[in-house]
Amino acid sequence: IGDGGNEIGMGNITQALSGLDIPLSVTPCDELLVADVSNWGAYGLMALLGIWAGRDLLADISPMEVINYLSLRGSVDGVTGENTLTEDGMEARVGLDIIRQLRILTGTLAHRPGD
C-alpha cells in the first residue's frame, strides 16, 4: 500500500511517478494498492477482507487512538512534517469518515439519510 511514491512496492510504477520531485522506490511488489493516504487504502482492503470473512473488520479501528499515541511520542505528519493529529496533511476526521462510508458500503453500518 503506497501513497507517495517512496514506499516499497511503488517500484512497479516508477515510470508513472517519474515527474515527482522525491526519491522514488525502485523496489517492486507482487500486488500494489495505491491510495491518496496509505491508511485509507488499508481501510479499503480491510473492508474487502471483511466482506469475504463475513465480519466487520473496521468496527474496532480507532485511528484517533493511534494518531494520539504516535503524536505523544513525537511523530510527524508525512506531508506537513509537523507533530499534529493529521494523516498526510488531512484532518483525522476525514479518515474516520472514510471508515464510516466503507462500513455503509459493505452493509455493516446502517445508512442514515443525509450520510
Name every residue whose Cβ is closer than 8 Å to that of residue 42 and which is 6 or more positions away in sequence.
Answer: 1, 35
**pTM value?**
0.86
Q: What are the pLDDT digits (tens) for 16-70?
A: 999 989 899 999 999 999 999 999 999 999 999 999 999 999 998 899 999 999 9
Binning the chain into helix, strand and coil, the percentages to the nearest 5 are 40, 5, 55
